[in-house]
Structure 1
Amino acid sequence: MNAQRTQLPDGRWHFQHGPMDIVIGANGSPQAVEAAHEQAWQRFGGILGELVRELPVLRLPVQGPCPLSGPVARRMWHACRPYRSGFITPMAAVAGAVAQELVACYTASGITRAWINNGGDIALHLAPSQSLRIGLYADIDRLGVDEILGGVQTDGQFEVDSALPVRGVATSGWRGRSFSLGIADSVTVLARTAAEADAAATVIANAVDVADARILRRPACELKDDSDLGAIPVTVQVPPLEPELVSRALHAGLRRAQTLRAAGLIWSAVLVCQGQFMTTAAGASVQSLDNHRGARQAGSVFA
């Protein structure tokens, strides 16, 4: 199937190609925005083929010198490199790396801000003095492309302005599109780039875990025969757990997140599991995260 695009009623664009479902918004002069959208569309059409050609290597653990040649593939590998002491493949950063590739089309003069939302992993462009609201969607199992297209009731919000060293947002958890080793409903990370946020969210979500026989796990290869995780057990079902177990799992993830923050790999993170949440609370703090759904936010970007 060839890449397809549709312009939405509010002016955003929806790009789709294979597993990639991307929603793009931008503000600025109409001519600059239109040119950037066209440039992004031309670039988008070639990305999937580039990744497929290097897919066997992209599914291998990160180690040694980078063996990849394509710009998106190399970005994936380098985003995952800080975590190579454990098991990680470049696929942990694929969605963020694709979004980051496209946001480069929106850095031209005349564009004040842009956001590339690749299934909840987001790359940002912010001109000086510009800002964006980032909507936190805690249960990513409920988040699909229809919600991204039509508007989402968020559980919390971030405000990211151009002065912050944040141009990427990513969310991971056992309920999401990709496999997770942990039990987090969601881990949302703000980082320097979208690829770096994607890799870090994966790592932190894996760390939100607790030993309990009621948690159902299966080898990844039994769920998807070509999974890059092979026989590693991934989480497929988490029953309601006692609050103290949930807290223990969140604290384990928070320790990992704080280590990454101290190393300069992330700016902040919010970890959510069964109604509880924890945050590293760096700079861009969560404005609200409670039992009620926040109001719909027109023009927001949703993680």
Structure 2
Amino acid sequence: MSFREGPVVQEDRDGRLRMLHGPIDLIVTAEGEAQAVRRALRRAHEAFEPVLHDLCAELARLRRATGPAPDGAVARRMHGATAPFAPLFVTPMASVAGSVADHVLAAMLTPGHDLARAHVNNGGDIALWTRGTPLKLAICEDPVTRAPGARVAIGPDDGIGGVATSGWRGRSHSLGIADAVTVLAGNAAQADAAATLIANAVDLPGHPAIRRAPARDLAPDSDLGDRPVTTGVGPLSAAEVAEALDRGLTAAREFADRGLIRAACLALAGQRRMIGETVTREELTHA
């Protein structure tokens, strides 16, 4: 895989940067003293320049669940984020969006920087940092109505540096049937991997209303190979929805107990499940 054209960088009127290269589409925001913001955005641009080229050079390894540690900066983040979830099947590609966001944010937060807040949004997988004022987000959004499932405020002492969402309706293929699973974790890469795996666990194996196809038939170079991915979900009873969500909730609780995530919100067919102190049940708004 190669991309002849280099990255495209656009500055919005509100001062945010949009950086695009191939399938990567970042929105980069920095807040603080004007000179500090300009320096941080310049560092973000510089860090982004080689990302896609470096990832393409190691794609064969990144599409495998096992193998030697990769070499590139973003590839190492991907490997480090997914390794703790073994022995579950997961390839480094499960954390690619979050890892790119983490990489760019890290470049912005050099020692001695004078930023107040910063975040990098990679198609909804977000690396974030704040010095004081909490960052407020709508999470676990209903993919059809776009209604938020909950709202969170992330402060500097919450231990959360990343938010990611996965589900069968998303950009990547899923082994499960979750409409959306949003995870809050210490960084975006780990949130990305966990959201993928929890969304896989929200499932009703063998249910006749769920349509599936081998991943390779939909995308010949998929890291999921011949594993059946969800292509459609028909009507489910309330009890079946609850059963599927409870399967995902079990996985989320295990990850939280192991310190891999801080909070999660799972959504399917209008029902929701949550864990974590960051979001309280009273804040949950059903679609």
Please state which band the TM-score falls in when normalised by the shorter chain.
Answer: over 0.9
Q: How far off is 1:48 after superposition?
A: 0.2
**SS of corresponding position for 1:260:** helix
Does residue 219 of the first structure (1) align with residue 214 of the second (2)?
yes
Q: Tell me the equivalent position of 2:270.
A: 275
Q: How far off is 1:125 after superposition?
A: 1.5
Q: How far off is 1:11 after superposition?
A: 1.8
1:144-223 matches, within 5 Å, as: 154-211=148-205, 212-223=207-218
Q: How far off is 1:155 after superposition?
A: 4.1
- More moved, 188-197 vs 153-162: 153-162
Q: How far off is 1:241 after superposition?
A: 1.0
Q: How far off is 1:87 after superposition?
A: 1.4
- More moved, 164-173 vs 108-117: 108-117
Does residue 136 of the first structure (1) align with residue 143 of the second (2)?
no
Structure 1 gap ranges (5+): 144-152, 292-303
1:38-89 CA distance string (max 9 Å, x none): 11111111000000000000011135xx431111101101111122212111
Does residue 45 of the first structure (1) align with residue 41 of the second (2)?
no
- More moved, 164-173 vs 54-63: 54-63
- More moved, 66-75 vs 29-38: 66-75
CA distance in 2: counterparts of 1:137 and 1:18, whole angstroms: 27
**SS of corresponding position for 1:252:** helix
**SS of corresponding position for 1:259:** helix
With the length of structure 1 as denominator, give the TM-score of the two structures. Answer: 0.88
Q: 2:234 aligns with which of 231, 239, 258?
A: 239
Q: How far off is 1:2 after superposition?
A: 1.4
Equivalent residue letter for 2:8: Q
Shift of the 162–188 alpha-carbon distance from structure 1 to 2, 3 Å rule, reads: same
Does residue 126 of the first structure (1) align with residue 155 of the second (2)?
no
Q: Tell me the equivalent position of 1:248.
A: 243
CA contact (8 A) 2:177 2:199 kept: yes
Q: Tell me the equivalent position of 1:61.
A: 65
Shift of the 88–141 alpha-carbon distance from structure 1 to 2, 3 Å rule, reads: farther
Q: Tell me the equivalent position of 1:289.
A: 285
Q: Tell me the equivalent position of 2:256.
A: 261
Report the RMSD for the aligned CA atoms in angstroms: 1.5
Q: How far off is 1:285 after superposition?
A: 3.3
With the length of structure 2 as denominator, give the TM-score of the two structures. Answer: 0.93
Structure 2 gap ranges (5+): none
**SS of corresponding position for 1:201:** helix
Q: Bigger relative contact order, structure 1 or 2, given CA contacts below 8 A and separation 6+?
A: 1
CA contact (8 A) 2:98 2:122 kept: yes
Q: Tell me the equivalent position of 1:30.
A: 34
CA contact (8 A) 1:106 1:125 kept: no
Does residue 111 of the first structure (1) align with residue 115 of the second (2)?
yes
The aligned length equals 279
CA contact (8 A) 1:26 1:113 kept: yes
Q: How far off is 1:106 after superposition?
A: 2.4
Q: 1:92 aligns with which of 77, 94, 98?
A: 94
1:129-186 CA distance string (max 9 Å, x none): 231001225234788xxxxxxxxx6443110000101001000000000110000000
